[in-house]
């Protein structure tokens, strides 16, 4: 078993020191016998064989005590010295593990889960979360399991467990972003192919797409002259797509908060700065989906300031350039409240601080684009007039 795991994880078995091999064999034999003796204590009386096994355990334990100083002080070996052992008996026995990244305990017949396996399990759960419908009774169960693994890895504080969290969360963040992008894009294409009557009802009435889905077979005129059943199926797919997109957006918000709490938000910042496609199609998304994306952007912007994260110039520029338009055009009115008045004011201050730390040329591009979006949108937020006035003042000083 140990050799198979070593080959699987890229480890090359090394020749063992003879005395070391004897010591490891003796220790594992002693531990196995001890476990058998403990199990036998559940019975009221020991049989004769149990006494024999107990004496055998004591003898092997004494033999291990003799072999230990021989290992330390007698340079006796057959073949090259061992650099690793398939068994990890840490502490005072000092036998080296397979690798710093393996960190496994292997006894004869008992295998502990390596870090790679734990990471694979976490990735599997996060992937299943994307695939499970939110209405499934197992969805919350899987979410709780993923949250427990991430939180316990973080509390443990081990370097490799922290790296495991970083890798798994970053991978899941990328996967969920791609799924959200594809879902929103499919919904937009399906909605564009529907008739004008269905688009009108969907946009005017709350849950309009659900109304059309349920009543389309009764009122064929909703098909706009085409096949009513085809239109009903099309609107049904749009309705279901909106729900799936909202689920993925909510999962993305959960991942963002987990990455923030685990101190790996820099991974999310880089990925969010590259999500120009998602930021573009999100302008046509369901208002609730837009609300989640605004919250994610506000959290990531705030983390740069609060945690004083050293963000590359290109990353900061892309973050502001592609997500400020979402703030301007998203449906964040009374019907779909996204941020409170205090949160909006705080987000404006954070954006102002981010812009003030950028080169003047970058400020010009960000602020001129913001002004255009702000003037033609129905929203009064975010109001970056202070940043714009400061940029104008800086530009005048450079001219002078």
pLDDT tens digit at each of 400 positions of the chain: 334 433 433 434 444 455 556 656 666 666 666 666 555 555 556 667 777 777 776 777 677 666 666 655 554 443 333 333 333 333 333 333 333 333 333 333 334 456 788 888 999 999 999 999 988 889 999 999 999 999 999 998 888 899 999 999 999 999 999 999 999 998 887 766 555 555 555 554 444 444 555 544 444 444 444 444 444 444 445 557 788 999 999 999 999 999 999 999 999 999 999 999 999 999 989 888 999 999 999 999 999 999 999 999 999 999 999 999 999 998 654 445 578 889 999 999 999 999 999 999 999 999 999 999 999 998 889 999 999 999 999 998 888 6
pLDDT of residue 115: 75
What are the structural domain ranges in the chain? Answer: 2-112, 117-399
CA geometry: angle 22, 26, 32, nearest 5 deg = 145
| pLDDT (0 to 100) of residue 227 | 47
Nearest CA to 368 out of 341, 392, 332, 351 is that of 392
pLDDT of residue 337: 54
DSSP result, 103-131: ---EETTEEPPPHHHHHHHHHHHHHHHHH
Helix (H, G, I), strand (E, B) or coil at 225: coil
Q: What residues contact residue 155 under an 8 Å CB cut-off, 6+ apart?
A: none
pTM score: 0.65
Burial of 382 (0-12, 13-18, 19+ CB in 10 A): buried
Task: Give 5's contacts (C-beta < 8 A, 6+ positions apart).
Answer: 11, 86, 98, 102, 104, 106, 111, 114
Strand partners, 110: 107
Two tokens at 192? 């564009």
Q: What is the pLDDT of residue 198?
A: 53
pLDDT of residue 200: 53
Share of the chain above pLDDT 90, in %: 46
Structure tokens at 83: 């650099």
Both tokens of residue 26? 């003796």
């Amino acid at each position: 078993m140990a050799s198979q795991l070593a080959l699987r994880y890229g480890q090359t078995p090394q020749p063992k020191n003879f005395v070391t091999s004897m010591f490891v064999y003796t220790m594992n034999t002693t531990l196995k016998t001890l476990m058998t003796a403990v199990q036998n204590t559940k019975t009221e009386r020991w049989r004769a064989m149990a006494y024999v096994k107990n004496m055998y355990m004591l003898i092997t334990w004494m033999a291990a005590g003799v072999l230990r100083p021989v290992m330390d002080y007698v340079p006796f070996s057959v073949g090259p010295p061992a650099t690793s052992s398939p068994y990890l008996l840490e502490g005072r026995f000092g036998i080296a593990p397979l690798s710093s990244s393996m960190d496994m305990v292997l006894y004869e017949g008992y295998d502990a889960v390596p870090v790679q396996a734990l990471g694979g399990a976490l990735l599997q759960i996060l992937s299943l979360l994307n695939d499970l419908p939110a209405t499934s009774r197992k969805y919350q169960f899987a979410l709780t399991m993923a949250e427990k693994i991430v939180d316990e890895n973080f509390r443990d504080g081990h370097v490799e467990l922290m790296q495991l969290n970083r890798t798994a969360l970053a991978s899941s963040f990328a996967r969920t972003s791609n799924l959200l992008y594809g879902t929103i894009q499919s919904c937009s294409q399906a909605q564009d192919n529907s008739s004008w009557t269905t688009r009108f009802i969907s946009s005017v009435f709350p849950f309009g797409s659900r109304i059309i889905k349920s009543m389309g077979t009764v009122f064929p005129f909703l098909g706009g002259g085409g096949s009513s059943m085809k239109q009903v199926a099309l609107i049904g797919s749009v309705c279901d797509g909106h729900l799936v997109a909202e689920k993925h957006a909510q999962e993305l918000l959960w991942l963002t908060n987990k990455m923030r709490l685990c101190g790996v938000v820099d991974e999310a910042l880089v990925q969010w700065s590259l999500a120009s496609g998602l930021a573009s199609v999100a302008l046509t998304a369901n208002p609730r989906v837009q609300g989640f994306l605004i919250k994610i952007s506000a959290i990531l912007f705030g983390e740069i300031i609060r945690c004083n994260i050293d963000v590359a110039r290109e990353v900061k520029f892309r973050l502001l350039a592609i997500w400020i338009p979402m703030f301007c055009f998203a449906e964040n009115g009374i019907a779909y409240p996204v941020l409170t008045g205090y949160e909006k004011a705080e987000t404006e201050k954070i954006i102002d601080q981010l812009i003030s730390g950028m080169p003047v040329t970058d400020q010009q591009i960000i602020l001129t684009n913001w002004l255009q979006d702000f003037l033609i949108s129905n929203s009064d937020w975010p109001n970056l007039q202070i940043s714009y006035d400061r940029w104008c003042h800086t530009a005048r000083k450079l001219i002078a």
